[in-house]
Chain A
Amino acid sequence: SQTIHQWPATLVQPVGSPLSLECTVEGTSNPNLYWYRQAAGRGLQLLFYSVGIGQISSEVPQNLSASRPQDRQFILSSKKLLLSDSGFYLCAWSEGAGLNQPQHFGDGTRLSIL
């Protein structure tokens, strides 16, 4: 069966520090991968999605970037964190981009910027 792992579960970082969040999917080949952010009390905002290795699309211009160095690995990064980057970051995968393909989410990383 397919599984998705995100780490770390929680992270506290100072303003201006770099960031690297990792997401790994097992049990499926060439999945679509997604990064979302959920601010407190609000819905999910799609940040990036990837349909294959090295292919990244950005939905919202911001201080963050994403990379997909391997088929099953999706990384969210920042060179300098801002206070506004605080939030709950979720990685998700789906089999292809068809309308009939549900996304499956990891347990998220709660990021606090001080």
Chain B
Amino acid sequence: DAKTTQPPSMDCAEGRAANLPCNHSTISGNEYVYWYRQIHSQGPQYIIHGLKNNETNEMASLIITEDRKSSTLILPHATLRDTAVYYCIVNLGGANNLFFGTGTRLTVIP
């Protein structure tokens, strides 16, 4: 079972920052938080991951709370092409098994 909780849907105005929350209150000390997104009929796209420090790359920023029980994915300037389902995943290790839940459906509005 997925160890994360996300809101089922969110809207964001084009050009504004999209902030997608995720709760992972049972995360273990060595588990990473991963974010993927999936546009309809395509494979999931890796966005970013982190352990305990905030991370930033060309796509997004990841803010992880100090207690690591929640995180926020930030898309700084949302575009229409960012409309997708966003998945927050806690890596359970071993075979690097990724449990995808139902995610957050982000709709960017013109």
Q: CB within 8 Å of B: which residues of A?
A: 6, 32, 34, 38, 42-44, 46, 49, 51, 57, 59, 90, 92, 94, 96-108, 110
Which residue from chain B places its CB closest to the CB of A46 in the assembled complex?
A: B97
Measured CA separation A100–B48 after assembly (Å)? 11
Known: A42-B102, A43-B2, A43-B101. A103 touches B42 (CB 8 A): no
Shortest Cβ-Cβ A-B pairs, 3 listed: A105-B43, A43-B100, A44-B100
Q: List 9 A-B contacts (CB under 8 A).
A: A42-B102, A43-B87, A44-B99, A46-B97, A46-B98, A49-B96, A99-B32, A101-B96, A105-B45
Asked if A90 and B44 make an inter-chain contact with CB atoms under 8 angstroms apart, the answer reads yes
Measured CA separation A96–B44 after assembly (Å)? 19
Q: Closest approach, in angstroms, between the C-beta of A80 and any C-beta of chain B?
A: 27
Which of A90, A96, A103 sits near B46, CB closer than 8 Å?
A: A103
Measured CA separation A38–B44 after assembly (Å)? 11
Which of A6, A32, A46, A105 sits near B44, CB closer than 8 Å?
A: A105
Asked if B102 and A32 make an inter-chain contact with CB atoms under 8 angstroms apart, the answer reads no
Asked if B43 and A107 make an inter-chain contact with CB atoms under 8 angstroms apart, the answer reads yes
Asked if B43 and A108 make an inter-chain contact with CB atoms under 8 angstroms apart, the answer reads yes
Q: Closest approach, in angstroms, between the C-beta of A40 and any C-beta of chain B?
A: 11
Which residue from chain B places its CB closest to the CB of A96 in the assembled complex?
A: B96
**In the complex, which of the residues B42, B45, B98 has the most CB atoms of chain A within 10 Å of its own CB atom?**
B98
Known: A43-B101, A44-B98. A102 touches B46 (CB 8 A): yes
